[in-house]
Amino acid sequence: MITADPSTAPATGTILRELKHPELRSVWNSSRSAPLTAPSAALLLIDMQRLTCDPQAGLGARLRAAGERKLVGQYYDEVAKAAANATLLLAACRDAGLAVVHTHLACATDDGRDVGSLMHRHGLWARKGSKEAEFLGPLQPRRHELVLPRTTFSVFAPWLGDQLLKNLGISTLIMAGVTTDASVASSARDAADRGYNTILVEDACAALDLKDHRATVDFLDLWYCEVADTHHVVTAVGQRVEVAEVRMTA
């Protein structure tokens, strides 16, 4: 609560959260109705592919070569948890008949010349059809599910991402994937700017640095989206539970 008495004001770390809850949040919530049901809600899984999730490939191999063994260990532990939770989300969303969108970093050329120089520099690119562009085993797309290849952090930076979701009639996104502070955060910010309702599934995301994961989730929660964990989303999905109420389910 925002208090009128400065002596009982919350610590600065919580100020933005206090600003949004509950006054601003009540304004926000009154302006929308976004149940987690077909046909307007979709699960968006971001970069759950070998390049970013397989410790032996892509990012992991590069980090290991650079001597970041500790970091590699931490990150892939988090990725394993995120992938397990994403698998639960995927099953629940399929059961409830929600649209599922799989997006991955995948480019058209062998040498990545169609990738921006920044992503190229990071090594965050993989040729479409290559091993590194493959989705993780339990998270394979089914034939009728949308697969969106990208060469950018944000799903919405390419015009196509926004347009395909609009064509599907999607206005609510259940978002999960890697990495929290890069592609996931860019996508969540853009989604909010473009008017989507987003639930970020915190424990189905991972970042190189746990500290950045937490900070990113906290900040997105203040302004850009709702945050919930897998358990809550799995319980709410398919029910007429509003985005803003998911955290209160189960």
In single-letter form, the type of residue at position 212 comes to D
Question: Over the Cα atoms of the chain, what is R_g?
Answer: 18
In sequence order, which residues have a C-beta less than 8 Å from that of residue 66 and are 6 or more positions away? none
If DSSP codes are grouped into helix, strand and coil, which group holds residue 108?
A: coil
Residue 161's CB: how many other CB atoms inside 10 A? Answer: 22
List 85, 105, 153, 236, residue binding another protein (CB under 8 A) = 153
How many chain residues interact with another protein (CB under 8 A)?
A: 61
Interaction between residue 53 and another protein (CB under 8 A): no
Residue 197's DSSP bridge partners are 172
Stretch in the footprint of another protein (CB under 8 A) among 27-35, 42-50, 77-85, 90-98: 27-35
Q: Rule CB under 8 A: choose which of 223, 235, 239, 247 binds another protein.
A: 223
Could you say whether residue 135 binds another protein (CB under 8 A)? no
Kindly tell me which of 102 and 189 has the beta carbon lying closer to another protein.
189
CA–CA gap between residue 152 and residue 142 (Å, rounded): 24
3-state DSSP percent of the chain in helix, strand and coil, to 5: 50, 20, 35
Q: Which of 22, 32, 84, 97 binds another protein (CB under 8 A)?
A: 32
CB of 57 to another protein, least distance (A): 8
Q: Which of 21, 37, 38, 61 binds another protein (CB under 8 A)?
A: 61
28 binds another protein (CB under 8 A): yes
